[in-house]
Amino acid sequence: MSQPASSGQRAAGEREDAQVARLLTWLSATAIGFLIGIGAKAWFAGHTTHAWVLWCFIGLIGLNMLNFARTGNRVRQKGGLIVIVGLLFTYLIASGGESNTGPLWFYVFPPLLFYLTDLKTGTAVLLFCYLVAVVVFQFPDLPLVAAEYTTDFKIRFFATLTFESIFCFVLEAGRLKARNELVALAEAHEHAARTDELTGLSNRRDMHNRLATEFSRYQRSGHHFSIALIDLDLFKNINDRFGHDAGDEVLREFAALVKTLIRQTDVAARWGGEEFLVLLPDTSVLQALAFAERLRFEVAGKTFGFRSEALPVTISAGVCSIAKAGSLDDLLKQADVNLYSAKESGRNRVAPRVRRQETGPTVASGR
Ligand SMILES: Nc1nc2c(ncn2[C@@H]2O[C@H](COP(=O)(O)OP(=O)(O)OP(=O)(O)O)[C@@H](O)[C@H]2O)c(=O)[nH]1
């Protein structure tokens, strides 16, 4: 039986995606604002080259935003922003920025990095940036390196940055753990909301949703589907003679048997009490009758046991195809009428018009 992909996980992923998209836009816009301001300050202080370099970064961020608006590729947008910010910080460390305060901007990097990437990538990029910073600090004579820092500053810079990085790593790891636990919890709740506890099959609510989906598909594309409404015969007797636990065991065993007989695309649900409904997509009424008859035959031939007692179990089934019904309600009603007729004609049979055979499953005719 096919289960839909977890919507808990999907919803969490979509929410996070939208959140990251908002954050990226906000960050890019804020970075542009800062760069305009700091560039202007540098310009009026007479550091025109510094101002132009900062404004060039505005162009890069703008291009990155435009590229995202055009392609919608969020991964590339994230990667682009990280590379641009990394280059900007490298420039600020190498140039010293204004009054050698450039490296201070580096503190923005760790939280941004861990939020935008996973922990492994974030750590790897951060270590690479550390390496760049070490090279710039240790080799002030390198081309494009204009700043020199005191040993005291370097030690404090690395110590505080390392502390901040570890702190961000731990916080992000905690956030991810809590997020994963929440998603798992949401999934468990979602699963419980659509599953019958006793049999592990879909419950009535889930089946209603699946029927509605299948009906829309039928209306859209004309794909037929059928249903088989199945009821365990004289189930009350089993409860009365062998006890409620024995009855429960029969329901579980029957559900397990159904699971082995249906296709991946079929869905079996406990419709209520000792009644089950199987949804058979892309299945004609003849094929559905063949399935129901096979199930009936297997149940009649199977030994249901409870505490060394063999329990007499048979089923009756009413089958109907959407081709014979105008609506879902009508489909369910007709299946119910057919089930009733199967019961009326002596139980352990499939309706409509299936020839009873104890030697093997055979469908006499369809509707
Ligand atoms: N053990 C157990 N019994 C249940 C469960 N749900 C419903 N039942 C029992 O199923 C029985 C259904 O009995 P009836 O509706 O009289 O039907 P039946 O005995 O199967 O007779 P027919 O349907 O006419 O063949 C009742 O005794 C319910 O208590 C369940 O979850 N576990």
Task: Encode pLDDT of 116-144 as tens digits.
Answer: 888 999 999 999 988 988 888 888 888 87
Nearest protein CA to atom 6 of ligand 1, as residue: 273
Contact 275 CB / ligand 1 (< 6 Å): no
Confidence bin at 24 (pLDDT 50/70/90): confident
Nearest protein CA to atom 16 of ligand 1, as residue: 236
- Whether the pLDDT of residue 5 is over 60: the answer is no
* Interval 218-240: pLDDT, tens: 999 999 999 999 999 999 999 99
Are 310 and 333 in contact by the 8 Å Cβ rule? The answer is no
Contact 244 CB / ligand 1 (< 6 Å): yes
Hunting for tokens 């990155």 — which residue is that?
Answer: 64
Ligand 1 mean position, distance from CA 244 (Å) = 10
Ligand 1 mean position, distance from CA 274 (Å) = 5
What pLDDT is stored for residue 1 in this prediction?
A: 42
- Whether the pLDDT of residue 347 is over 60: the answer is yes
What pLDDT is stored for residue 367 in this prediction?
A: 34
* Interval 161-208: pLDDT, tens: 999 999 999 999 999 899 899 999 999 999 999 999 999 999 999 999
Question: With 0-12 CB in 10 A as exposed, 13-18 as middle and 19+ as buried, what is 75?
Answer: exposed
Ligand 1 mean position, distance from CA 234 (Å) = 7
* Interval 285-322: pLDDT, tens: 999 999 999 999 999 999 998 888 889 899 999 999 99
Contact 80 CB / ligand 1 (< 6 Å): no
Confidence bin at 17 (pLDDT 50/70/90): confident
Our mutation pick for probing the ligand 1 site, out of 233, 238, 239, counting the most ligand atoms within 8 A of Cβ, is: 239
CA-angle at 285, arms to 318 and 302, nearest 5°? 55
Nearest protein CA to atom 18 of ligand 1, as residue: 234
Atom of ligand 1 nearest to the CA of 239: 1
Which one of 214, 249, 253, 274 is the catalytic residue?
A: 274
Contact 109 CB / ligand 1 (< 6 Å): no
What pLDDT is stored for residue 365 in this prediction?
A: 38
- Whether the pLDDT of residue 362 is over 60: the answer is no
Our mutation pick for probing the ligand 1 site, out of 204, 233, 235, counting the most ligand atoms within 8 A of Cβ, is: 235
Are 217 and 223 in contact by the 8 Å Cβ rule? The answer is yes
- In this prediction, residues 77-93 reach a mean pLDDT of 89
- Whether the pLDDT of residue 67 is over 50: the answer is yes
Contact 236 CB / ligand 1 (< 6 Å): yes
What pLDDT is stored for residue 272 in this prediction?
A: 94
- In this prediction, residues 64-86 reach a mean pLDDT of 88
Residue type (1 letter), 186: A
Contact 241 CB / ligand 1 (< 6 Å): no
Ligand 1 mean position, distance from CA 237 (Å) = 8
Is 16 among the residues known to form the active site?
no
Confidence bin at 363 (pLDDT 50/70/90): very low
Contact 235 CB / ligand 1 (< 6 Å): yes
Q: What tokens does 14 get?
A: 């979509």
Domains of the chain (ranges, CATH numbers)? 7-191 (no CATH), 204-351 (3.30.70.270)
As a whole number, the mean pLDDT across the chain is: 89
Ligand 1 mean position, distance from CA 227 (Å) = 21
Q: Give 350's DSSP letter.
A: E
What pLDDT is stored for residue 148 in this prediction?
A: 84
Q: What is the percent of the chain where pLDDT is above 90?
A: 62
Cα–Cα distance for residue pair 105/101, rounded to 1 Å: 8
Alpha carbon separation from 201 to 6, 198, 297 (Å, rounded): 16, 8, 21
- Output the CA torsion 9→10→11→13 (10° steps): 80
What pLDDT is stored for residue 12 in this prediction?
A: 66
Atom of ligand 1 nearest to the CA of 316: 25
- Whether the pLDDT of residue 6 is over 70: the answer is no
Contact 272 CB / ligand 1 (< 6 Å): no
Query: pTM for the complete prediction?
Result: 0.69
Cα–Cα distance for residue pair 213/117, rounded to 1 Å: 37
Ligand 1 mean position, distance from CA 302 (Å) = 20
- Whether the pLDDT of residue 355 is over 60: the answer is no
CA neighbours closer than 13 Å in the CB half-sphere of residue 85: 26
At 280 the three-state DSSP class reads strand
Contact 271 CB / ligand 1 (< 6 Å): no
Contact 343 CB / ligand 1 (< 6 Å): yes
Number of other CB atoms surrounding residue 236 within 10 Å: 12
